């Protein structure tokens, strides 16, 4: 009969070890990475906002250049038409 109890010694030891480690686990601080994740998301958002502003500025510059070139083309076109009409 003493041999039957010997079979359960590893099981009892594991359970006892679990209770002993519970005290240790309560003392160990858990590392919360939520703050790091929020900081990373804020950093990415700031980078995206800067990129959006750069794209808006570039689009505005291209729009100004396009309007300038269209105006020059209209003026030159009117001059050509005027010269053709008056020189006939």
Ordered by start, the domain boundaries in the chain are: 6-86
Return d(Cα 61, Cα 51) in angstroms, integer.
Answer: 15
Q: How far apart are CA 40 and CA 36, in angstroms?
A: 6
SS3 for 4-58 is: HHHHCHHHHHHHHHHHHHHHHHHHCCCCCCHHHHHHHHHHHHHHHHHHHHHHHHH
pLDDT of res. 30 = 67
pLDDT (tens, 9 = 90+) of the chain, 88 residues, equals 456 767 777 777 777 776 666 666 666 666 678 888 999 999 999 999 999 999 999 999 999 999 999 999 999 999 999 999 988 7
As given in the structure block, the two tokens for residue 15 are: 């359970």
């Amino acid at each position: 009969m003493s041999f039957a109890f010997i079979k359960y010694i590893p099981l009892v030891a594991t359970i006892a070890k679990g209770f002993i480690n519970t005290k240790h686990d309560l003392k160990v601080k858990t590392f919360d990475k939520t703050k790091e994740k929020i900081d990373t998301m804020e950093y990415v958002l700031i980078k995206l906002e800067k990129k959006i502003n750069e794209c808006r500025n570039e689009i505005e510059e291209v729009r100004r250049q396009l309007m300038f070139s269209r105006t020059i083309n209209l003026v030159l076109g009117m001059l050509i038409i005027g010269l053709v009409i008056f020189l006939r």
